[in-house]
Amino acid sequence: MTRKPANAKPLSGSALVREVCRRIRVARSAWDAHNNRACRRERERALALYATLDEAAKDQVPQVLRVWLRYRSEKYFGADRTPPGSPRK
């Protein structure tokens, strides 16, 4: 896991949009590899960054990635789903 240097500036503008897209793609590839833990972690990070974008920047994220992030993955990782690590019945 890479850590940001202490003097690193927070992302903004097109760099933030690129990072959001990158994280969504990483989450999708983890999903395709059936690695739910990594997918959940990257999806949460992508959602946190996506929430910081303004409307104009959100429109720069490709629609395919937005749909996967907000809707398709919500079906499997949403708040109404059983959290990881819970005992099985």
More confident residue, 88 or 29: 29
The domain segmentation of the chain, as residue ranges, is 14-77
31-81 residue pLDDT tens: 999 988 899 899 999 999 999 999 999 999 999 999 988 876 667 777 777
pLDDT band at 3 (very low <50, low <70, confident <90, very high): low
The answer to whether 79 and 60 are in contact (CB under 8 A) is no
- Report pLDDT for 56: 92
> Would you state the pLDDT for residue 6?
53
- Predicted pLDDT at 73: 66
- What is the pLDDT at residue 9? 66
pLDDT of residue 69: 86
**Cα end-to-end span (Å), the chain:** 34
Q: Angle at CA 74, nearest 5°, toward 35 and 32?
A: 30
